[in-house]
Amino acid sequence: MTPQVLIVGAGGREHALARRLAESPSRPRLWAAPGNPGLLRLASRAPVDPADHPALAAWCREAAIDLVVVGPEDPLIAGLADVLRDAGLAVFGPGARGARLEGDKEHAKLVMAAAGVPTAGYAACGDLAEALARLESAALPVVVKACGAAQGKGVAVCADRAAARAHLELCFTADAFGDAGRRVLLEECLTGPELSILAVTDGRDYALLCPSRDHKRLGEGDTGPNTGGMGVVASAGLLTPGLGRAVGEGVVAPVLAELRRRGVDYRGVLYVGLMLTPDGPRVLEFNCRFGDPETQAVLPLLRVDLLELLLAAARGDLGAWLATLPEPGPGAPRDWPGAALTDWERAAAVVVAASHGYPGPIRRGDAITLPPDRERAWVVQAGTAERDGRLVTAGGRVLGVVGEGRDLREALAAAYGLLADVRFDGLVCRRDIGGGLPPSRSEP
Ligand code: AMP
Ligand code: GLY
């Protein structure tokens, strides 16, 4: 029987998931709610509004959907996975109580404290006067974070108190982030390279995918405003000694144990945002879903069937499925939980092409010209739309160009080579994705 898989979301991450699921040997039929033009070349549009959770659950039952993969955080935080599971569906993505790890940064800090996970010191404040009083004695620089989910815009790394005050006023007085900014964290500023590690889990067992590095700032040389991510590299070259154990035994396992202790059944991705500080890895944030654009770079490096992996996690038999995998391949780090999932002898990169004005107010409707995909480079669509039969820009991050190769040098050359043939007015991209990284592996 053909497996029926629904992907919820409309971004580059969801297009990348569909691309990889379409390669599954069990040849699934893919559905998208709502999807984007790229994704809808691989999937049929589900005739239902994904924001109407009961209607989506009813449609999934009717269509005999075998697996729902929820891409973005907002529906997870709002409890979509709970509604779908209550209707008897297999869902990849945590319920609202699990997703709170992303939706409430103070809650994430409390879970980390209970689980003994290393993270930055902080103070939580519920009003401006309290926050300003705390700020007086805070060391500089200081990081000010709206506790709720604010599309990456709620965090400011502040060099001085004036900048911190300005961000606090955005949260409390200007109400720039709505409910997300009603509580704020003042956080110790950490330094070091950042790394994203995606743990696929069924709440008990877990496997870590290839580490990746996002480039969050808009400008080259890590300058300018923070964005959702302008490009990513994924490679064994990002590994540092002991990283797999530090993240597995030091972060993922204790957090899952703490969640179980609280009665939370977490099935999906636990995204660990890390800073590799001189004192070891520290958790900057958790997300409750696949990273975007990390996923676009990490999935091409899988050497297993993504559909089987997601189904095993959704059904709660990840441990049994992992036990069926062959030994990790050549070059695999010894202490990496789930090392057998990744081909460590390849690397991938994604370079994002964004709209004029991003991450501020953007221009929409510019016509896009896309080159055909190549064997080692392809386009993943995000903020695109079809108007009068033409592909046009329709969002901040319009698309990502993915390249793969035997090392990052090859992967980046493949991505930039294809990007040269992508055209739309106002295209903004970084030319320095992967700059300064070791091109091949440093021994873990
Ligand atoms: P978050 O959404 O919490 O990951 O924060 C967004 C970005 O802000 C991170 O990717 C970091 O670049 C930066 N950031 C967050 N927390 C800290 C911290 N404690 N110290 C330094 N930079 C941070
Ligand atoms: N690329 C960062 C994120 O997915 O949150």
Q: 360 and 277, same structural domain?
A: no
Using alpha carbons, list the distances in angstroms from residue 414 to 236, 310, 328, 351, 378.
Answer: 18, 28, 26, 10, 9
Structure tokens at 405: 């190769």
As for how many domains the chain has, the answer is: 4
Inter-residue contact 119 to 285 (CB < 8 Å): no
For position 441, what pLDDT does the model report? 39
Is residue 146 in a domain?
yes
Q: Which residues, listed in sequence order, are joined to residue 404 by a DSSP beta bridge?
A: 348
Q: 330 and 222, same structural domain?
A: yes
Ligand nearest to the CA of 290: 2
Ligand 2 atom, smallest distance to 290 CA: 4
Q: What is the CATH number of the domain that holds 354?
A: 3.90.600.10
Is residue 109 in a domain?
no
Q: 314 and 208, same structural domain?
A: yes
Inter-residue contact 94 to 102 (CB < 8 Å): no
CA–centroid distance, 307 to ligand 1, in Å, is 32
For 415, the domain range is: 347-419
Is residue 361 in a domain?
yes
CA–centroid distance, 155 to ligand 1, in Å, is 7
Q: What is the CATH number of the domain that holds 67?
A: 3.40.50.20
CA–centroid distance, 190 to ligand 1, in Å, is 8
List residues near ligand 1 (CB under 6 A). Answer: 120, 143, 145, 152, 155, 157, 187-190, 194, 216, 273, 284-285
Q: Omega of the bond prior to 50 within 30 degrees of 0, cis?
A: no
Is residue 165 in a domain?
yes
Domain finish residue from 341, 374, 404: 341
Is residue 439 in a domain?
no
Q: 262 and 219, same structural domain?
A: yes
Backbone φ and ψ for 206, nearest 5 degrees, come out as: -155, 160
Using alpha carbons, list the distances in angstroms from residue 25 to 43, 304, 305, 307, 310.
Answer: 16, 10, 7, 9, 14
pTM exceeds 0.85 for this model:
yes
Is residue 259 in a domain?
yes
Residue bearing the CA closest to ligand 1, atom 15: 284
Domain finish residue from 182, 202, 219: 182
Residue type, 23: E
Inter-residue contact 399 to 415 (CB < 8 Å): no
Residue bearing the CA closest to ligand 1, atom 5: 155
Q: 311 and 356, same structural domain?
A: no
Q: 312 and 227, same structural domain?
A: yes
Q: 289 and 198, same structural domain?
A: yes
Residues 169-193 pLDDT 10s: 999 999 999 999 999 999 999 999 9
- Which residues of the chain register pLDDT less than 50? 438-444
- Ligand 2 in reach of 400 Cβ (< 6 A): no
Is residue 319 in a domain?
yes
Ligand 1 atom, smallest distance to 189 CA: 20
Q: Probe ligand 1: pick from 144, 155, 197, 276, max atoms within 8 Å of CB?
A: 155
CA–centroid distance, 228 to ligand 2, in Å, is 6
Ligand 1 atom, smallest distance to 105 CA: 3
Is residue 380 in a domain?
yes
CA–centroid distance, 290 to ligand 2, in Å, is 8
Domain finish residue from 299, 320, 341: 341
Q: 228 and 274, same structural domain?
A: yes
- Ligand 2 in reach of 285 Cβ (< 6 A): no
**What sign results for the dihedral spanned by CA atoms 317, 322, 323, 326?**
positive
Inter-residue contact 149 to 72 (CB < 8 Å): no
Residues 233-270 pLDDT 10s: 999 999 999 999 999 999 999 999 999 999 999 999 99
Alpha-carbon span 297 to 397, nearest angstrom: 16
Ligand nearest to the CA of 73: 2
Burial of 31 (0-12, 13-18, 19+ CB in 10 A): buried
Alpha-carbon span 48 to 333, nearest angstrom: 44
Q: 212 and 328, same structural domain?
A: yes
Residue bearing the CA closest to ligand 2, atom 3: 291
Residue bearing the CA closest to ligand 1, atom 11: 284
Q: 320 and 205, same structural domain?
A: yes
CA–centroid distance, 176 to ligand 1, in Å, is 19
Ligand nearest to the CA of 271: 2
Q: 137 and 13, same structural domain?
A: no
Q: 400 and 352, same structural domain?
A: yes
Inter-residue contact 387 to 37 (CB < 8 Å): no
- Ligand 2 in reach of 229 Cβ (< 6 A): yes
Q: What is the 3-state secondary structure (H, E, C) of the chain?
A: CCCEEEEEECCHHHHHHHHHHCCCCCCCEEEEEECCCCHHHCCEECCCCCCCHHHHHHHHHHCCCCEEEECCHHHHHCCHHHHHHHCCCCEECCCHHHHHHHHEHHHHHHHHHHHCCCECCEEEECCHHHHHHHHHHCCCCEEEEECECCCCCCEEEECCHHHHHHHHHHHHCCCCCHHHHCCEEEEECCCCCEEEEEEEECCCCEEECCCEEECCEEECCCEEEECCCCEEEECHHHCCCCHHHHHHHHHHHHHHHHHHHCCCCCCEEEEEEEEEECCEEEEEEEECCCCCCHHHHHHHHECCCHHHHHHHHHHCCHHHHHHCCCCCCCCCCCCCCCHHHECCCCEEEEEEEECCCCCCCCCCCCECECCCCCCCEEEEECCEEEECCEEEECCCEEEEEEEEECCHHHHHHHHHHHHCCCECCCCECCCCCCCCCCCCCCCC
